[in-house]
Each structure stands twice: as structure tokens, then as C-alpha cells.
């Protein structure tokens, strides 16, 4: 049965996949979790409408919160890596016929989920214990590179959205500087996202081959992560993690993130062992003269299957002043319904709003 809040539509929309789910209010577990290829749809409203039509045709959500991989400013949003035009939440709300709809940055949603993550949702990557009353930071590579913060206030946690993935790449070694020069020659700039993303890993591998006077075999990011015995793939992965460590340290210093720096995105869980054994933490801490300060800041990899979905539900719980009328829900929309390779709330790592 649907609770007094009604059924909410929540989403985590990236440049590659748009992940949707339904949830019954702030204490419900997301159900009907489905992923749609982002580029198969003309825009956010079309993707959301396709999800509802295909998987929940009898549901009329009482509210929606859609997290998108791009800036949300001045009443407009722009999904940076999907080729979609800019849009407004009101356009999407009207298209879907939803009484209330919010759009926020995907890493802003991920930041909102941080206080809900439990020990089973995280893999520690070094450092001390988090200060529970200090700011936190989250960043991570996927199709793009997301960065956000979470700051404690008297009225609760407040997320800080931004476009930190567009800062300059933190090249430090001679080899990294050579890679950055090749990037600047190709792109006209050397921003972090151009190296710390799926396409960025491919670029690093290609630039390393060029520096060695060798032909690059044109591997995908997934293939590079799988060929760890290949010396050039191993070097590319090592440089990727080292650059990420420097960037994460910069973010920690900027926010004073003594509550911890958390790593998200779709790439890192596949290379968790590489990340742990890499120079990530060394580069994170290597910020003279504040190395001791940095050593005390913990870093951890997020392995929760749907943190941005959880954060979208948190945003609705914060934003809606009072429960909305209950919406009808089809009898076959059970909490454990899921498609192939989709995570359900009854699996070992539930996509829930409470710590797993």
C-alpha cells in the first residue's frame, strides 16, 4: 500500500545510463529500479516518461526528484555529456504531470546520501576516523567527473553542488605533465575531467603510448581496467589513481573535509584493489606543509548500489512541506521486482534510505 506521502519518482541520470526507481515516501525502499540508455531519449522528460510508460503505466507519482550529471543553475539544468538540450524542472514537471518535481546535480544527491551510508556501503582507503561534525566531500569518475560537498548546519546537512570536475588536471610528475601537454594540444585545455573519466582513462592510455613512440591499440576504458598485466594499461591505471588522489586532496583542503572524502562514480568499484594499492593515498596526503592534517582525513570508496537514488529521496523529504495525497500503485509493483542485473532492496546491499 502507498503511504500518505504517495509514490515518488527518483532518478540518477548520467551521460551513459538513466536509472529510475519508485519509492513510497522517505522511509520506503526503492522499487522497480531500471536503467535506460541515456542517448536513446531526446531529453530528461522523455526518458522519465519512457520509464513510467514501460515499467509503471498505472502509477501517478505525487512528486519526483531527478539527479542529473551536470550543472543546475538559475532554474535550468544541462546534462553535460549526453547531448541533451538545456531544460527546466517546470518543463519536465508539466510533461510528466507531476504535482512537484525537483532537479539537482547527481553528486549533490550523492552528498545528501552520505549520512545514510553504513560500514557495509564503504571500503576504507586510508586515513583516520571521520569527524562527525565536520564537512564531507564526495567525488568520482564515470562518464564525467563529479564533485560535491556536504556541510553541517544547525538545521541539518546542506549539500554544496559545483562543477569541480572542470578544474585544471593536478599533474605533478614529469610523466603526468607530459600527458597534460598532449591533452592541452588536443583539447586546448587540460581539465581534470578530460583525464579522470571513462574517456579520460582511454586518453591517458593513448598519450602514454604516444610518449613511448608506440601505437595505441584503441582499448576501451573497460578493457584497460581488465588488462592489468599489460604494462601500459597498468601504468594508465596507476596514473589515473594518482591524479585522483591529488584532486581528492585539493577538494579536502578546500572544504576542510575532516568528515571524510568519499569516492563514487561507476569506474572505481571495478578497480577497488588497484585504487587501494596505488599512489592515491600518498598523493592525497602529499600537501606540504599540512601532511599531518591530511593524514587525519579518511577516504573511502562507496560501494552502495544506488546512493544518488537515496539522496534524491532525501532531497524530497527535505523539500516537501507535508505529505501529498496517496497515488495509485499497480499490484505488480512489488518492492523486490527487478530486471536482469538490477539491484533490488532485498539484495545484500539494499538501495535503501537507511544504512545497510
Q: Give Cα separations from 151 to 68, 117, 136, 253, 353 (angstroms).
A: 21, 16, 7, 14, 19
C-alpha cell at 298: 579518511
What is the phi-psi region of residue 236: left when phi exceeds 0, alpha when psi lies from -120 to 50, beta otherwise?
A: alpha
N residues, the chain: 356
Alpha carbon distance 31, 79 (integer Å): 25
15 labelled ligand-binding = yes
Q: Kindly report the number of other CB atoms within 10 A of residue 307's CB atom.
A: 25
12 labelled ligand-binding = yes
Alpha carbon distance 18, 39 (integer Å): 9
Alpha carbon distance 345, 28 (integer Å): 10
16 labelled ligand-binding = yes
DSSP letter assigned to residue 338: B
**Burial class for 175, CB neighbours closer than 10 Å (0-12, 13-18, 19+):** middle
Alpha carbon distance 353, 299 (integer Å): 22
Which element (helix H / strand E) includes 130?
Answer: none
Which DSSP string corresponds to 153-219?
A: ETTEEEEEE--GGGSBP---SHHHHHHHHHHHHHHSS-BGGGTSSHHHHHHHHHHHHHHTT------
C-alpha cell at 165: 570536475
- Could you tell me which residues come within 8 angstroms of residue 104 by beta carbon, excluding any fewer than 6 positions away? 65, 66, 67, 68, 72, 159, 161, 312, 315
- The four Cα atoms 58, 61, 67, 68 give a dihedral, to 10 degrees, of 50
C-alpha cell at 17: 545510463
Task: Please give the annotated binding residues, written as ranges.
Answer: 11-16
Task: Please give the annotated binding residues for ATP, written as ranges.
Answer: 11-16
Amino acid at each position: 500500500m502507498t503511504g500518505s506521502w504517495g509514490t515518488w519518482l527518483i532518478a540518477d541520470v548520467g551521460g551513459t545510463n538513466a536509472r529510475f526507481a519508485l519509492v513510497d515516501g522517505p522511509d520506503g525502499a526503492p522499487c522497480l529500479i531500471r536503467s535506460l540508455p541515456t542517448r536513446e531519449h531526446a531529453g530528461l522528460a522523455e526518458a522519465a516518461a519512457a520509464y513510467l510508460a514501460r515499467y509503471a503505466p498505472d502509477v501517478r507519482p505525487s512528486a519526483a526528484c531527478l539527479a542529473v550529471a551536470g550543472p543546475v543553475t538559475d532554474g535550468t539544468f544541462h546534462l553535460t555529456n549526453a547531448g541533451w538540450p538545456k531544460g527546466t524542472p517546470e518543463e519536465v514537471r508539466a510533461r510528466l504531470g507531476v504535482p512537484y518535481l525537483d532537479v539537482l546535480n547527481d553528486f549533490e544527491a550523492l552528498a545528501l546520501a552520505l549520512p545514510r551510508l553504513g560500514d557495509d556501503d564503504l571500503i576504507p582507503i586510508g586515513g583516520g576516523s571521520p569527524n562527525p561534525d565536520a564537512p564531507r566531500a564526495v567525488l568520482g569518475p564515470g562518464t564525467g567527473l563529479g564533485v560535491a560537498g556536504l556541510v553541517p548546519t544547525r538545521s541539518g546537512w546542506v549539500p554544496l553542488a559545483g562543477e569541480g570536475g572542470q578544474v585544471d588536471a593536478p599533474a605533478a610528475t614529469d610523466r603526468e605533465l607530459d600527458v597534460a601537454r598532449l591533452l592541452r594540444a588536443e583539447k586546448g585545455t587540460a581539465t581534470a575531467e578530460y583525464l579522470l573519466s571513462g574517456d579520460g582513462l582511454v586518453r591517458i592510455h593513448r598519450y602514454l603510448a604516444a610518449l613511448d613512440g608506440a601505437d595505441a591499440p584503441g582499448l576501451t576504458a573497460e578493457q584497460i581496467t581488465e588488462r592489468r598485466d599489460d604494462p601500459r594499461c597498468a601504468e594508465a591505471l596507476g596514473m589515473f589513481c594518482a591524479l585522483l588522489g591529488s584532486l581528492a586532496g585539493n577538494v579536502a583542503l578546500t572544504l576542510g573535509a575532516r568528515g571524510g572524502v568519499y569516492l563514487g562514480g561507476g569506474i572505481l568499484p571495478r578497480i577497488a584493489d588497484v585504487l587501494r594499492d596505488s599512489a592515491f593515498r600518498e598523493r592525497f596526503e602529499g600537501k606540504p606543509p599540512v601532511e599531518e592534517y591530511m593524514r587525519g582525513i579518511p577516504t573511502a570508496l562507496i560501494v552502495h548500489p544506488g546512493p544518488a537514488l537515496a539522496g534524491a529521496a532525501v532531497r524530497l523529504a527535505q523539500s516537501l512541506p507535508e505529505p501529498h495525497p496517496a497515488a495509485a500503485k499497480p499490484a505488480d509493483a512489488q518492492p523486490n521486482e527487478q530486471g536482469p542485473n538490477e539491484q533490488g532492496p532485498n539484495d545484500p546491499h539494499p538501495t535503501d534510505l537507511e544504512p545497510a
